[in-house]
């Protein structure tokens, strides 16, 4: 019990340790993070495997990292094929259709909840309405959007103020979603009501993003000074001709987590992850940590970047991602270190950011650091690129996207097993 006697004992024990007074003198004046920087050990920007990529993009004040990370991989195909110095694909184009598709499927879920006689106090209903419309997403969501709508160059469908600053449109669409729910409770024609609200959402989204092109002219000048034009091409035709990757069939998400419900060497599908009607849910192959790391290395050695999910609850110092909690522990003489599995099990990290791994440094068969391409513009990190310690990758990178060509025969065999459905509440990975 936390009574006066307990408090007196705590005070007495604190005062016994002279280091506590020193800590207080220091921490009274400076930020904790200022005490954990290693001024004498800077990680260089040299890597034994270093995939050449181009200047970083900028998602601005939006939660589109999942789309930008994928677009940053795809644009390299266009740059190579067309012999360009630089090139960007439109993040706004993907976001337009993501907003529309996401709003549509949320309406569908609310209708299905009504048919299932779920009330406002049901966990699924309340969470959907609480979350509303957001920006966040994942690789399979991106792959489905590209498969359905294709892609376009950034200059064909450029950013607007609100496509780069999405707080307001998310608030508006969230309010529209809640109004739909209230009308749905009293409606006898759910589909007619849904059509009305889709029209409202389309008006809002198009007014903010613009009308996406059905066809466009792809014009560019290659590095040898030659002008090119591909006239009257659709976004799907552009994707097939200049990129051509089969993202849905040739790539698989890999996780590495185990507890009482989720086991290694199984395939899992989390419920209600679809953002497009009648499209594939997010499927994950769950593997042991060593295999997880091995697949990253194998793909990098094939000169292909690795798309990954991570937590940003750790810290970036001088352009370096580090496991900051271990460093904080040193200040207080405490052991705060946890591995990836333990952090996930205790809800210590979430899939809140997506980036791509473009390099790694290996010395004497030991990984010393990783190279990361972000989408926060060129003013952060080293011209937008970051270094990550191996400890940070082991603890905070907890989902990757791998080309199936990199999988072993045994891993491919696991993919043929029945997919295990899990509730969203249990999806720790």
- Nearest CA-CA partner of 402 in 322, 302, 315: 302
Identify whether the C-beta of residue 351 lies closer than 8 Å to the C-beta of residue 65: no
3-state secondary structure 163-174: HHECHHHHHHHH
Q: How far apart are the first and last CA of the chain?
A: 37
Is 54 in the active site?
no
Nearest to 180 by CA among 86, 272, 109: 109
Q: Which of 72, 374, 395, 406 is catalytic?
A: 374
Widest pairwise Cα distance in the chain: 83
Burial class (CB within 10 angstroms; exposed 0-12, middle 13-18, buried 19+) of 328: middle
Contact by Cβ (8 Å): 400, 284: no
Catalytic residue list contains 310: no
Question: Of 353, 354, 395, 398, which one is the catalytic site residue?
Answer: 353
Q: Find the catalytic residue in 58, 65, 310, 406.
A: 65
Number of H helices, E strands in the chain: 16, 14
Could you confirm whether 280 is annotated as catalytic? no
Distance CA 143, CA 152 (A): 14
Q: Do residues 407 and 253 make contact, with C-beta atoms less than 8 angstroms apart?
A: no
Phi/psi for 240 (5° steps) reads: -60, -40
Q: Give catalytic residue positions.
A: 65, 353, 374
């Amino acid at each position: 019990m936390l009574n006066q006697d307990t408090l007196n004992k705590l005070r007495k024990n604190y005062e016994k340790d002279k280091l506590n007074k020193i800590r207080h003198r220091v921490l009274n004046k400076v930020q904790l993070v200022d005490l954990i920087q290693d001024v004498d050990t800077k990680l260089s920007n040299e890597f034994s495997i270093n995939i050449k990529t181009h200047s970083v993009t900028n998602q601005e004040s939006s939660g589109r990292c999942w789309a930008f990370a994928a677009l940053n991989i795809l644009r390299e195909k266009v740059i190579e094929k067309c012999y360009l110095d630089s090139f960007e694909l439109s993040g706004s184009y993907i976001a337009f259709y993501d907003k529309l598709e996401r709003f549509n499927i949320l309406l569908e879920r609310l209708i299905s909840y009504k048919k299932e006689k779920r009330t406002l106090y049901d966990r699924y209903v309340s969470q959907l309405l609480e979350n509303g419309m957001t920006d966040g997403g994942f690789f399979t969501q991106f792959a489905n959007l590209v498969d359905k709508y294709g892609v376009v160059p950034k200059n064909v469908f450029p950013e607007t103020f609100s496509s780069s600053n999405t707080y307001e449109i998310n608030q508006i669409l969230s309010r529209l979603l809640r109004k739909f729910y209230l009308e749905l409770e009293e409606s006898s024609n759910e589909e007619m009501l849904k059509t009305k609200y889709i029209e409202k959402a389309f008006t809002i989204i198009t007014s903010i993003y613009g009308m996406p092109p059905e066809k466009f002219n792809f014009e560019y000048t290659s590095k040898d000074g030659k002008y090119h034009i591909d006239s009257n091409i659709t976004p799907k035709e552009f994707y097939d001709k200049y990129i051509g990757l089969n993202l849905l069939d040739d790539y698989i998400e890999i996780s590495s987590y185990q507890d009482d419900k989720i086991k290694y060497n199984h395939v899992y599908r989390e419920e209600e992850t679809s953002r497009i009607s009648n499209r594939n849910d997010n499927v994950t192959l769950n593997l042991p940590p060593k295999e997880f790391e091995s697949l990253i290395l194998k793909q990098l050695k094939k000169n292909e970047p690795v798309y990954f999910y991570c937590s940003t609850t750790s810290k970036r110092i001088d352009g370096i991602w580090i496991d900051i909690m271990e460093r904080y522990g040193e200040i207080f003489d405490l052991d705060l270190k946890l591995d990836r599995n333990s952090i996930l099990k205790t809800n210590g990290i979430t899939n809140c950011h997506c980036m791509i791994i473009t390099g790694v440094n290996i010395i004497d068969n030991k990984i010393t650091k990783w190279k990361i391409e972000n989408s926060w513009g060129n003013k952060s990190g080293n011209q937008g690129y970051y270094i990550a310690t191996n400890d940070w990758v082991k603890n905070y990178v907890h989902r990757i996207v791998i080309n199936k060509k990199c999988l072993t025969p045994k891993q491919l065999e696991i993919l043929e097993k029945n997919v295990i459905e899990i509730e969203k509440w249990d999806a720790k990975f």
